[in-house]
Copies of this chain bind each other. A is one copy, B any other.
Amino acid sequence: MDSPTFLDQRAAWMERAEALKPQLTRHALAPQSVIRIEHIDFLWQGCAAIPEYPAADLPQQWWTRGKTFLLDFGESVVGHIRLKVHAIDPVIDSPLHLRFFAAETPYELSADLGAYHGRLSRSWLQEEDIHLDYAPVEVTLPRRFSLRYLRVEVVAVPRAIRFDELCVECESAAPYELPPPPPGLDLELQAIDRASVRTLRNCMQSVFEDGPKRDRRLWHGDLRLQALANAVTYRNFPLVERCLWLLAGCTKDDGFFPSAVILQPSPVGSSRVLDYALLLGRTLLEHTRFSGSMELAKALYPLAVYQFDFFREGLGADGTFQNLRHFWVFLDHCRELDRQIPILACASYSLAGLAELAELLGHRKDARRFRAEAEAWRLLARKRLDPELHLLRSGDDAQLSVASQVWGILAGVLTPQEGLRALQALDEHPEAVQPVTPYMTHFYLEACRVCGDETRLMRHLRRYFGGMIARGADTFWEAYNEKDPYFSPYGDPLSNSCCHAWSSTPAWFLRQRP
C-alpha cells in the first residue's frame, strides 16, 4: 500500500472539529410520579412501574435513614440530576449520605446491583453516592445520566429530610421539544417516530454518541445512521461535520479511518472496523446531498478513497477476503455469521457510493474506476448465488444469512426483483442466520425499500420497533430479541443501553416514504 498523503492534515481537521463544538440546550424536567416496581411474571422482564402518587407531592414527604423512593420522569432523557435537600431540623447534626441510581428501564431500576454479572465493568451502572455537609442545600450530581427512572436512597441522615425542586437538567445538542411526526401516521407509527427522534435527541451531545448511558462514544457506524435520521429531523449538520472532522483527525498512522473516537481526556481514535471504514465515502456522499455543502467531502475524499486499499490487500481473485491485518469485520453482533459475502457486498456498495461522490466532486476518472471495480466485486459475489433458492450463500459452509441477502441487495449483486424474491424466500428459511442488532435491522429495512417492498418494511418496522414500544420503550434499545427479555451482548441486561443511536432510524424510514 502507498503511504497516505493526508496524515499531516489531522491537526487541522481536529481544529475544525473543536470549532464546531455545540452549545447544549437545557431543559428542567420534573418527575411525574413516585412509583413502585411490581413483579408481574407475564410482563416484559417481569416487572412494571406502578404510580403511587404524583411527584408534585414529594416536597411534603419526609424521609428517614434507610428509606428509599423511586421516581418516574415520564420520559427518557439525558442530563444531570439537580435537587434541593431540606432537613427537619433547622440545623443538621451530621452529614447526609444519599445514594442515587438512575435507570433507563423498570427492570434496571429494580435490579440488585450487587448481583451484576456482566462482562463489561459494573462502573457503567449509573450510581452515585454523595455526602452533604449541611442542609438546606442545592446539589447537582457530578455525572451525566441517561434515565427515565431514579432511585433515591437515604443511606444515613440524622433525622428526617425532604427533597424539592428535584429535576433532570436535560442536555442535548438538539432542542428538548421533539419534532412532530410526519402527517398521516397511525398511533403506533407516531409512537415509533417519537421514540426514534427521542433516541436521536438523547444521543446528540457534544458529538453523536452511540449510547448516552453506555458507552458514550462516537462510532462511525452509528453516526452514519444518526446522520440519516438527523437529515430529516433536526438537520444539525454542523454536528455531523464535527463528528467527521473528529474521526478524521484521529486517523491512525497507517491511514486507517478509526471506527470510534474516545473524547476524554483528549480525543483518540479506537477500533478498526473494516466495514465502517469502507462506508466513509457513503457517509460523505449522503452528508453532501443533505447539507448541500461539499467542503467536508472535498477534504476527506482522499481518506475515504484510501480505506479501500485495506480491503483490496486481503481480497483474493475468487472474492474471498483474507483478514491479514486482523480488522474487526463487524456487520452485526453475531458470532456465527459468515462474513465473506456480506463484507464483499458491503465493500461493493461502499465503493459504488464513493464513485458517486467522486462524480459529484468532479473526479471523473476515479468515478469510472470505482464503478468498474464495484461491478467486478458484485460479479464475484454473484458467483455465490444458489441457483435453486435464488439466495446468496457465504463462506466455505455456504451459509445462508439475512446479512448476505441484505448487503447483496444494497450492493446490486441482486437486482431489485431478485431481492424481492430473496426477501420472500428468507421467510421460508428460518434457519438462515438472522440479524441480532438494530444496526443490521436498519440495513434489512433499507433493502426492503430498495426492492420497493414497503409492505414488508412497514410490517417489520411495526414488529421490531413497535415491539419495543409495546414492551415499554420510549427510546429504542441497543439490543432487542423479542423472544428473550434478558438478552444481552454483554452477559447481563443491566449493561444494555436502552437509548442507542443505531436504533434511531425509524424516523428516516417514516419520513422518506416513496
Binding site for B on A (CB under 8 A): 65, 90-97, 120-124, 127-129, 131, 133-137, 142-143, 155-158, 214-216, 262-265, 268, 270
Contact = CB atoms under 8 A, between A and B. Distances in A.
Contacts of A91: 262, 268, 270
B157 A123 contact: yes
A80 to B, nearest CB: 13
Given A65-B122, A91-B270, A131-B142, 15 more contacts: A93-B121, A93-B215, A94-B124, A94-B215, A95-B121, A95-B124, A95-B143, A97-B123, A121-B156, A121-B157, A123-B155, A123-B157, A123-B158, A134-B264, A136-B265
Which residue, A91, A136, A143, has most C-beta atoms of chain B within 10 A? A91
Nearest to A143: B131
A157 B122 CA distance: 8
B264 A133 contact: yes
Top 8 nearest A-B pairs by Cβ distance? A134-B264, A94-B121, A123-B156, A97-B123, A122-B156, A129-B129, A91-B262, A95-B123
A8 to B, nearest CB: 22
Given A91-B262, A131-B128, A65 B121 contact: yes
Q: State the copy count for this chain.
A: 2
A127 B131 CA distance: 8
A120 B94 contact: yes
B122 A265 contact: no
B155 A122 contact: yes
A122 B93 contact: no
Contacts of A127: 97, 129, 131
A246 to B, nearest CB: 14
Contacts of A268: 90-91
Contact of A96 (B123, B128, B135): B123
A449 to B, nearest CB: 35
A408 B157 CA distance: 41
A490 to B, nearest CB: 11
Contacts of A122: 65, 97, 155-156
A359 B95 CA distance: 44
Contacts of A263: 134
Contact of A265 (B121, B124, B135, B262): B135
Contacts of A97: 121-123, 127
Nearest to A132: B123
B95 A265 contact: no
Given A124-B94, A124-B95, A137 B265 contact: yes
B214 A94 contact: yes
Nearest to A65: B121
A160 to B, nearest CB: 12
A197 B262 CA distance: 50
B262 A121 contact: no
A158 B264 contact: no
Contacts of A92: 262
Contact of A131 (B120, B123, B157, B265): B123
Nearest to A91: B262
Contacts of A270: 91
Contacts of A65: 121-122
Nearest to A159: B121
Most buried by B among A123, A127, A156, A263: A123
Nearest to A129: B129
A260 to B, nearest CB: 9
A157 B120 CA distance: 9
A137, A155, A215, A264 interface centre (most CB from chain B within 10 Å)? A264
A214 B133 CA distance: 11
